[in-house]
Amino acid sequence: MADKASAPRRAAGMTTTALIVAAGSGSRMGGGVPKQYRLLGGKPVLRWAVESLIRHPAVQSTRVIIPLADQDRASAALDGLDVGEFIEGGAARADSVRAGLAAIDGDAVLVHDAARPFCPSAVVDRLLASLEFFEGAAPVLPIGDTLSRVGRTLGDPVNREGIARVQTPQAFRLSALKAAYEGWHAEPPTDETTVVRAAGMSVAAVDGDPALEKLTFPADFARAEQWLAGQLRPRTGMGFDVHAFSCDGPVMLGGVEVPHDRGLAGHSDADVVLHAITDALLGAGGLGDIGEHFPPSDPRWKDSQSSLFFAHALELLRREGAVIDHIDCTIIAEAPKIGPHRAAIRASIAQIAGLSIDQVSVKATTTEGLGFTGRREGIAAQAVASIRMGFLN
């Protein structure tokens, strides 16, 4: 197995594409939803797998292979991520990989299973470094358990010396993997190292990682949730915003038009709720504040929808591997009355954030006639965002 410390640096200027294979049905998992679209830590498994590679600095392009019927589902799971056009998969895994290879070019390729949601960047480093000397490389883990043949009872033991479990992603010189598949005419292989080795090429074994465990059975999801909970740390952010009344209504609150005879003044649409929530999210992630990302002096944001600011903060957090657990916002105003619109505001915030409705709280209060809100001069909002961060950095 290649040593972590002695692994050579990857060839300078090598262009690398990641192929995420997500064309399986996940039938062994049960539940009616393919496992790549099931939620894990609040995000689809497929999104975890894509994000773990798309953010790696050595990966220039990431493409996803899916069944044609899954386009809408995959689009929703990967909303906001740059994965180009989906590649239509085939009946067998090897057919899907062949389709992916035909759609890309460059120097190197990482072939990864969507059912392995967590890929540490150090594993990718080791894989790509090995391509300086080998046609391919795969992460492996030693086997610590006793091995035995099994029927109704335990059969003969199997010598585990020199045996390892092979994981993905697997890295290859792109030209080598394409050539190997052109010469493959046997039964569909279970992975690409089988094809490359059958063509007489060498595949390096590098240190794998327990985080790369594959999700196959229902119990694997429970294990993954427990593992994920141990990697993430809770963080909290607070946000506050205020806008004065200045023009004709309605007012925008949480992405919802609320009827009122006066509107709010602002460079954008003056959505005080989304501004406060955006600041809370940015604060939880240590990512600055809304004014840094969308300065009011910039004419690009004149009359913009505040949902753009909100979505930007969410995307920044998700690039960092963050999970948004809960958003709570209190609207401070004498008028308009929030109660009749509370449900619509909650639903709007949840829809933009990709959260369930029970992860969003919206409350309203007055200042008993005190201060500028009490004098009906404007509306204020304060928000708290609860997230978890720290995944595989």
**At which residue do the structure tokens 């429970």 appear?**
222
Q: What is the DSSP letter of 266?
A: -
pLDDT at 318: 80
pLDDT at 295: 81
pLDDT at 25: 63
CB 170, CB 18: distance < 8 Å: no
Residue in 161, 208, 168 with CA at minimum distance from that of residue 190 = 168
The secondary element (H helix, E strand) that includes residue 149 is: strand 147-150
> d(Cα 211, Cα 227) in Å, to the nearest integer?
8
> d(Cα 168, Cα 177) in Å, to the nearest integer?
15
pLDDT at 120: 93
pLDDT at 3: 43
Mean per-residue pLDDT pooled into runs of 10, the chain (393 residues) = 42 86 68 85 89 94 95 92 94 95 97 96 96 97 92 92 95 98 94 97 97 93 88 93 92 95 88 96 94 80 85 87 92 95 97 94 96 94 93 49
Q: List, in order of start, the domains of the chain with CATH numbers.
A: 16-231 (3.90.550.10), 233-389 (3.30.1330.50)
CB 132, CB 9: distance < 8 Å: yes
* SS3 assignment, position 243: strand
